[in-house]
Structures are given as structure tokens and as C-alpha cells.
Structure 1
Amino acid sequence: MPFRIKIPRSTIERLPLYYRCLNLIEEHGIEEISSQVLGVRVGVDPSVIRKDLAWFGELGKRGVGYNVTYLKEAIARILGLDREWPFILVGAGKLGMALAEHNRKYGRHFHLVGVFDRDPAKIGLEVGGMQIRPMEDMPLLIKEKDVKIAMVAVPAEEAQKVAHELVKNGIKGILSYAPITLSVPPDVLVYNADYNLDLQRLAYYISNEGEQTWGE
């Protein structure tokens, strides 16, 4: 079995920041960028950027910097964004509807292929360009579309049950908006989008402003 380098999770989580910034820079016609300038734009120390990118080979030239288009495309390949990813949304409440509409307008690389809910009153309604479907339809669609990613926007008391159904049907990545920690097998990755936690972190930093400096 070939040896695989384990890339630090912190590095992977910074790559989308670089990718987003490079997209904006490219749109303004800028062809070359240094790690110093990129660092200012994304709020990351230039040495950290150079270390992050070094995991993936020689992506720039010493003393010159990085070609914006080349680096953007290289990061896209690393992130798997050189293909389109089908995903499903479970939960068609107000949050779910907002997420579906946002994806229809701004989604890139990720294509919503199904919206599911348990509420019979919502079945057949349209959201984000998709008709809401019953949960019973979910396994077949996951198989037909080879879906590996799911977004979960259901109440906390429903989230673990939904996660179990998703994992059972082959989902490997879950973006959860439910305010609980989901229990999933080791080979399934869960990211939690919890605005309450983020607001609490902001409150801490603001409350302690001036008392300490923040580390990375």
C-alpha cells in the first residue's frame, strides 16, 4: 500500500480561504501574488501560507510568488473542486429553505439534487428549485445520484436519527446545522455550523479584549 502523507486538518481548513481569495483576485485581472499580499487579504501569516502550500509541491517561485490562475486551479484540484458534487438537504424548515435558495443563487461545485422532510404538509412544495420529497425517497436518490454529502437542518431531537439514516445509505460527509454533536462512524466526517457557538466565541474575545493576545 503506498504511503500517504497526512495533511494537517488546519491546513485543509485554510485552503478554501485561499481559493475564495484567489477567485476574487483573478476577477480583478491580477496575474501574480506573493504570500505576503495573500496573507493580508485572508488574515493568515505568510509563513503559514507557504507552509500550507508546500505540502502539495512547488506551487510558486521563490522571490516571485504565485501565478494566481495556476494556484487557484491547483487548490481546486486538491479540494476536489475540479468536479461537481451532488448533495442532499434534509429539513425543509425556514433554515433549510434559506439554505436551498442560497445554494441555487451562489452554489459553485455543489449541486443540490434532493430536499427531504418528514412533514407531509411540505411534500411537493418547491424550494431552491427542487420539490420537497418524503424521507422514504432518500435512499434511492442517494444511490441513483451517487451522493456522498448531506446537509442537515432539522431540530436537535431529530438530528441523530437523520444522521443514522444518512450513514446507512452511504453518506460520507455531513454539514449539520443541528445544535448537537452527532455520533457517526470514524469514516464519516461531520462539520457543525452552529451560530450560537460562534456568537459565544465572539462574546468571549470581545469581553477579554485588551487582556491577552490571541494565538493562531
Structure 2
Amino acid sequence: MVPLKSEHIPRATIKRLALYVQILETFSREGAEVVSSETLAKACNVNPSQIRKDLAYFGEFGVRGVGYYVKDLVSSIKQSLGINRPWRAALVGVGNLGKALLRHQDFRRRGFHIVGAFDCDPFKIGEEISGLEVICSRRLKDIVKEKDIEMGLITTPAERAQRACNYLTEAGVRGIINFAPARIEAPDHVHVEYVDFFHHLYAVAFNITLDRQSD
């Protein structure tokens, strides 16, 4: 991992770095070898100074008067974020959302391999989705150890999210992405991120409302 110039890196910076990787990979697929901070900033809807500030947490990048070498910058950011290697994940809650995520091809392409699917519904256990057999959640601890799983995705209904979190933390995962519309309690050493689609829907609805009021 690239040594950090500071341990206090804003969460917003981490999110922007993930966006930079996505945009830079698009540039690379289109054949670009070098990109200026201005071009990258425009594509990411930020200003060039913000990009330079974000990258400065991890070292010096780019060549004055030339720009950034796309493949080198992608590699450096991935190494900085710790995503320059595969990550193995378990998904708990094989409902409609869970099934959609299991079928989502971008997870594997971006280095996140969902290698276990779990549910407590006896009618779902044994079902096969995208090459994975749905396993009873009570077996999660054994499977996590067997498959060296480091993170979990929770896609259960809200009322079952905490139980899913308990299964995952007791199994030894170090990070959880919670898609369920509920807050969960996890040990301090377990990193938890929330994905709530309604937050984005509320934000869009609010901005549309503001636009209408100003018309």
C-alpha cells in the first residue's frame, strides 16, 4: 500500500478517489494514455485543485506540463485504496436486491468477488444464483473461514439486518456494506458503510422542488 502523508483523510476524498478510478478506466478503454488535471476534473465535476489536493495525501503524481499517465495513476490510486487485489465477500439476504447484486457483473470486474450467498428462508436455501448456492445463514461462520471472506453485504429486510450483522461479525468479517434500511451495531473494529437509495431519491426530489420554486 502507498504510504500516506497523513492518516486523517476525509471520507469525501476517498469517495472522489473511487470516482477518479472509474473515470480514468473509461479514458483508458478509449485509448487515452495521458490526461490533464483539467480534463479529469471536468469529467469528475470537480475543480483541478481538488484533484491535486486529493492525490497529495498519497504522494506526488503527474508531470508538470504533461499531466497524468492514465494507467500509472489508476494503479497508484488502487494501491492507495487497497483495491489492487481481489476482495472476497459474503452476501446475506437473497431477496430481489440480493439477487440483483449477485448477478451484477461489475463486482468481479472491479475486484470484489461475492463468493457466498446466505439466507435464513428455507425456501431459498439450496437455490442457485449466478453459480452460487444459497446457504443457511447459520453456516456463515464456517464458510467465511473456509473461503477467506473479509467483508459482508447485507441485503435483508430492515428487521433482519442486525441479525445478519451479528452473523457476519461473529464469523470474523472486518467490513460490512449495509443496504438494508436500518442502522446496525457492530464492534468497533468492524467498518460499516450504509447504502440507502432513499437518501439519493430525497436529494433529487429536493433539488427538483427547488428548481420549480425558482422558475
Aligned residues: 211
**C-alpha distance 141-106 of structure 1, shift in aligned 2 (>3 A):** closer
Indicate conservation of the 8 Å contact 1:113/1:130, yes or no. Answer: yes
Question: How high is the TM-score relative to the length of structure 2?
Answer: 0.91
The alpha-carbon deviation at position 197 of structure 1 amounts to 1.7
Q: Which residue of 1 aligns with 2:91?
A: 89
The amino acid that maps onto 2:12 is S
Q: Which residue of 1 aligns with 2:53?
A: 51
Deviant stretches of 4+, over 3 Å: 103-107
Q: Which residue of 2 aligns with 1:135?
A: 137
The CA distance in 2 between the partners of 1:9 and 1:42, in whole Å, is 17
Q: Which of 171, 174, 178 is the matching residue for 1:172?
A: 174
Question: How high is the TM-score relative to the length of structure 1?
Answer: 0.91
The amino acid that maps onto 2:157 is P
Q: Which residue of 2 aligns with 1:199?
A: 201
The amino acid that maps onto 1:81 is I
**Alignment gaps of 5+ in structure 1:** none
Q: How does 1:178-193 map to 2 (within 5 A)?
A: 178-193=180-195
The alpha-carbon deviation at position 107 of structure 1 amounts to 3.9
The CA distance in 1 between the partners of 2:187 and 2:138, in whole Å, is 23
**Alignment gaps of 5+ in structure 2:** none
**C-alpha distance 135-193 of structure 1, shift in aligned 2 (>3 A):** same
- Which has the larger displacement, 166-175 or 43-52? 166-175
Indicate conservation of the 8 Å contact 2:88/2:114, yes or no. Answer: yes
The CA distance in 1 between the partners of 2:109 and 2:66, in whole Å, is 33
**C-alpha distance 84-49 of structure 1, shift in aligned 2 (>3 A):** same
The amino acid that maps onto 1:128 is S
Indicate conservation of the 8 Å contact 1:124/1:132, yes or no. Answer: yes
The alpha-carbon deviation at position 108 of structure 1 amounts to 2.4
RMSD between aligned alpha carbons? 2.0
Find out whether 1:113 has 2:86 as its counterpart.
no
